[in-house]
Amino acid sequence: MSPIAYTATIIAVVVVLFVWNKLPVVFVAMLTALALWATGVLTLGQSLGGFGDPAVIFIASLFVVSSGLEVTGVTAWAGQLLIRGAGEESRTRLLILTMALVSLLTALISVNGAVAALLPVVVVIAVRLRRNSSQLLMPLVFAAHAGSLLALTGTPVNVLVSEAGIDAGVGGFGFFEFALVGVPLLAGTMAIIVLFGKQLLPERNGATMPADFSQHAKTLVEQYGLANGIYQMRVRASSPFVGASSSGIDLSSFSGLQLVAIQEGETAGPLRRPLLAEGDHLLVRGDAEAAAAFSTKMHLAFRDENAAGQGQETLFNRSSGLAEVVIPPRSKLIGQSVFPGMVTDSGDLIILAVQRAGEAIAAGSATKDAGGVVLQAGDTMLLQGTWKALDVHLDDPDVLVVNSPELVRRQAVPMGPGARQAVVILIAMVLLLATGLVPPAVAGLLAAGAIILSGIMSVEQAYRAIGWTTVILVGAMMPLSTAMVETGAAKLMAEHLVNLVGDAGPLALLAGLFILTAVMGQLISNTATALIVIPIGVAAATAMGISPRPVLMSTAVAAAGAFLTPIATPTNLMVMGPGGYAFTDYWKLGLPLLIWFFVVSVFIVPLIWRF
């Protein structure tokens, strides 16, 4: 068999295996790369070269940046804005706002960057509104494809067709000239998705959808009886507590009032100094009138008057949070005595309450003097401390964490610690991508490195943040594009099609080039497809005596219509897992969109750029 025949056979088998959907997609992708080497179509270096491709490095770095935005609560904040703008009931408004946002971001930083940045936002929205992620994630990606035609920086294909116009002597395309066709594309895409998306998309979620933690704090404080009567009071300069010993604070004269903890003003963690200072906080539980009398007499100020007495606001905020832990069998903590307000051995966490079999046994009655409560296996404790302390000290085999503080913080604390740094890093990456000062892979790596160096994430967290399934899929499937170019299969297909339709007029040429580009674009990257089709289209336009400009723009539109398979673009693969999509789900919504792209490419483009 010839190399072209081997390549065609491998493509056919790969498509069948993807449609069959019985083997893991990563396994099929790796077999594809190995088959290209085993048949001699590519060398070993070429077969595995996709893993070192700059696009793969860029995608991996985007996962780190995206996770950094999620960890710091930027995505939770953006999700709240989208929910607030769209309302919890309006599917149409939610889809329109989401698609408009991703298309505008795509125009600045490319499809991959925009989808990676907004993917966790949309997942959080799906969880919070109890909607199926499959109804939101594919519209996100397909709107990004349409948005890539809004500006020159939307996709590398735009740059290629602009440079090809310059080389052909007809001039390049302006930065926003693409919007003349991009706006109709996006408007039609949004209309099709809003009108028909619900029927054409599946109703399911990804296998790894996160739980909804938006009301986590409220649930915990209610369960442990702390919903009301918790007050955080700041020590004023005139307070007699300034310079006093932390062990000398006596609330016995204030009936029904209990000192839960003393927090440092700077860190919101348990007080480590022997003496109190101005700005420190007393965490007090009890009657509202008694708390007010205590604050007046001791010159204390409620830290937040609006949240005074609301447990979830006082205990759960940007600085500090709550965590529920279970005492497992054989834990070293079994037999130890604890009491409310007790600081753990690490000195960073406060025990607020203890429950046994769902009943409070130390929520305010036990004290240090009374001996506290002796822990047993199965007891649960509510701990409070800074988010950093919760992350660090709960990785302990002597306790089982019910819900990861990191996952809770990502959803429930908008614009938390490090959010400003994360936003600055994102803006810097956007500027680098929009201006083209450095290649996209370099911009992504610089942003990911900044996320780690700023302390937003550790190296280990960055490793865990990368979607390795997507990275491996993209890297393993890239050699298929190389094979089609190296063997001449793609060029042979293009030349035959141009010879077939070239005598039928310029509209037939556009239609033929669109079909070729769209078909190839479902199997190999649209950039590789454009590199193959552009020179043939320009040559055909010259031979027919027409301007190459509409041919080039039509090719750009066709290259963006990569809707029918998950392997068409990296972003299609990005949402496959979180959206719970199967291989055959893509074409159902993708086909109507591809027809609209065909109409724009063949009939609207020539009205704007004349032959």
Indicate whether 446 pLDDT > 90. Answer: yes
- Is residue 280 within 8 A of residue 262, CB to CB? The reply is yes
Q: Which residue has the higher pLDDT, 466 or 34?
A: 34
What is the Cα–Cα distance from 2 to 39, expressed in whole angstroms?
A: 10
477 pLDDT band, cuts 50/70/90, is confident
**Residue 84 pLDDT > 70:** yes
DSSP reduced 3-state for 581: coil
Average pLDDT over residues 344-357: 86
- The mean pLDDT value for 160-167 works out to 83
Residue 316 CA, distance from chain mean position: 24
Q: Which helix (H) or strand (E) holds 307?
A: none
How far apart CA 12 and CA 4 sit, in angstroms, is 12
Which structure tokens are listed for 73?
Answer: 């609560």
| Mean pLDDT for the stretch of residues 104-111 | 78
| Euclidean distance between CA atoms 395 and 407, whole angstroms | 14
**Bridge partners for 286 per DSSP:** 257
CA distance 444 to 57: 8
Distances (CA, A) of 83 to 37, 98, 144, 508, 582: 49, 10, 20, 45, 28
Asked if pLDDT for residue 34 goes beyond 60, the answer is: yes
Residues near 85 by beta carbon (within 8 Å), at least 6 away in sequence: 93, 97
Lowest mean pLDDT among 509-518, 531-540, 567-576, 601-610: 531-540
**Higher per-residue confidence, 592 vs 130:** 592
Q: What is the mean pLDDT of residues 75-88?
A: 76
- In this structure, are residues 486 and 46 in contact, taking their beta carbons and an 8 Å threshold? yes
Three-state SS for 170?
A: coil
179 vs 229 pLDDT, higher one? 179
Burial of 225 (0-12, 13-18, 19+ CB in 10 A): middle
Hunting for tokens 């949004």 — which residue is that? 190
**CA-to-CA distance for 428 and 422, rounded, in angstroms?**
10
User: What is the CA angle 53-56-61, rounded to 5?
Assistant: 130
pLDDT, residue 238, reads 92
Q: Which class for 250: exposed (0-12), middle (13-18), buried (19 or more C-beta within 10 A)?
A: exposed
Q: DSSP state, 245?
A: B
Q: What is the pLDDT of residue 187?
A: 96
Assign 366 a pLDDT band (cuts: 50, 70, 90). very low
For tokens 């918790």, the residue is 230
Name the CA radius of gyration of the chain, rounded. 30
Across 258-262, 458-462, 592-596, which has the greatest mean pLDDT?
A: 592-596
Domains with residue ranges and CATH for the chain: 3-209+467-608 (no CATH), 216-315 (3.30.70.1450), 320-361+370-407 (3.30.70.1450)
DSSP 3-state percent helix, strand, coil across the chain (nearest 5)? 60, 10, 30
Other Cβ atoms within 10 Å of 430 Cβ, number: 19
Half-sphere exposure of 79 (CA within 13 A, CB side): 28
State which amino acid sits at residue 582. Answer: A
The DSSP H or E segment spanning 596 is helix 585-599
- Res. 306: pLDDT tops 50: no
What is the distance between the alpha carbons of residues 263 and 173, in angstroms, rounded to a whole number? 61
Per the DSSP assignment, residues forming a β-bridge with 343 are 350
Residue 304, pLDDT above cutoff 60: no
**Range from 32-41, 103-112, 537-546 that averages highest in pLDDT:** 32-41
DSSP string, 43-83: -HHHHSGGGG-HHHHHHHHHHHHHHHHHHTTHHHHHHHHHH
Range among 161-165, 178-182, 404-408 with highest mean pLDDT value: 178-182
When the pLDDT of each residue in the chain is averaged and rounded to a whole number, the result is: 83
Rounded to the nearest 10 degrees, the angle between the axes of helix 54-71 and helix 419-435 is 150
Q: Give the separation between CA 595 and CA 511, rounded to whole angstroms.
A: 11
Phi, psi dihedrals of residue 594, rounded to the nearest 5°? -65, -35
Higher pLDDT, 86 or 573: 573
Percent of the chain with pLDDT over 90: 27
Distances (CA, A) of 358 to 42, 225, 229, 382, 397: 63, 11, 21, 12, 22
Instruction: Look at residue 189 and tell me whether its pLDDT is greater than 90.
Output: yes
Strands 309-310 and 380-386: unpaired
pLDDT surpassing 90 at residue 377: yes
Q: Which two tokens stand for residue 410?
A: 């990502």
Whether residue 466 is predicted with pLDDT greater than 80 in this model: the reply is: yes
Quick one: tokens of 265? 């003003």
The phi, psi pair for 286, rounded to 5°, reads 155, -160
Measured CA to CA, the distance from residue 161 to residue 391 in angstroms comes to 49
pLDDT confidence band for 556 (50 / 70 / 90):
very high
**Separation CA 123–CA 375 (nearest Å):** 39
| CB-count exposure of residue 427 (10 Å: 0-12, 13-18, 19+) | exposed
